[in-house]
Amino acid sequence: MKSYRIILSCLLCLGCGNTIDLKEKGAALKIKAQESTQLRKGFNAKFRLNYPSLEYLQAGIFGAEAYFRAEDDLETAFLETQWLGIFKTKNNWYLNPVKPAIETVFDGIVDQDEQDTANWSGKVMTTSKHCVFTLRKGNLHPKKLKVFYASNTSPRFHDDKSVLLPGDTLHFQVGNIHYCLFAKGKALYNEGSPENQGFGNYALYLQTDDPHQAQQVQLLRSVDPQYEYGPNRLECLFVGLIDADDIPDFIISSNYEQRILYLSSEAKEQRIVEPVYVEPMTGGC
């Protein structure tokens, strides 16, 4: 009987030990999950300063020429995905299928000489003549474009690009429906030159008088109180009818000069337009 009690006590001790171990492991996992969440929030706060969250958008918009490295893993996407180009000729804009060409090029930053074939060599994606933007085809179909605004053909805002500073407004009309793209923000004290002016609480909005849509939606915002006009400018690059409806679509640059394509056909909850594709940040110099 005494032996039985001793064995039972040992088993109970072992059970308690296992319970303690499980509790400790559970607490450790909880702490690790919390740390992971905080790390992700910290990363987003530091490197993803604009809305929408670009890391959740599909890569699918580029300029007519894109520079990247082998480790960016874009070559397969360019070769295996169907692409459409936004083309501009003297008298017309149009969407047309385009097949990007990939070429390995000399990189003067990391390659020692022009014969260097190391993995550090850069790659360039190029398209066809007159192609202004390259879009992942998705649900888009080749057709004529109606263009309301394009940065390389319309009056400039503040410099050679279509920078949207707080107080800037861009008006356009589709049929009897009016649209307005405007920026808000607060200028920060600046001792330097105007091109490095900072703006706090920057946000970009789209407004319409269409009674069947939300009257105003936020397209982009910067949570960085020191948002700069200089290197991190936001620009409206293109406004036009890209998809199959009569609601305008947009190509807008983000804080990091990444292009974002907004399509009205993808809009959710009457948001007018929805961000669909983003230009990925690459290792190119």
**47 is a domain residue:** no
User: pLDDT at residue 218 above 60?
Assistant: yes
- Beta-ladder partners of 259: 253
Query: How many distinct structural domains can be found in the chain?
Result: 1
Q: Which of 42-56, 130-144, 169-183, 262-276 has the lowest mean pLDDT?
A: 42-56
The reported pLDDT for the residue numbered 91 is 80
Give the domain range for residue 254. Answer: 56-278
Query: In which residue are the tokens 């607060």 written?
Result: 186
- Banded pLDDT at 2 (limits 50, 70, 90): very low
**240 is a domain residue:** yes
**32 is a domain residue:** no
Contact (Cβ atoms closer than 8 angstroms) between residue 49 and residue 255: yes
**15 is a domain residue:** no
**7 is a domain residue:** no
User: pLDDT at residue 224 above 80?
Assistant: no
User: pLDDT at residue 238 above 80?
Assistant: yes
Percent residues over pLDDT 70 in the chain = 65
Numbers of helices and strands, H then E, in the chain: 2, 19
- Banded pLDDT at 54 (limits 50, 70, 90): low
User: pLDDT at residue 184 above 60?
Assistant: yes
The reported pLDDT for the residue numbered 133 is 93
pTM summary value: 0.75
**71 is a domain residue:** yes
User: pLDDT at residue 59 above 80?
Assistant: yes
Which whole number is the average pLDDT over 87-91? Answer: 86
Q: Which helix (H) or strand (E) holds 39?
A: helix 2-47
**2 is a domain residue:** no
Q: N- to C-terminal Cα distance for the chain? A: 80
User: pLDDT at residue 227 above 90?
Assistant: no
CA atoms within 13 Å, Cβ hemisphere of 105: 18
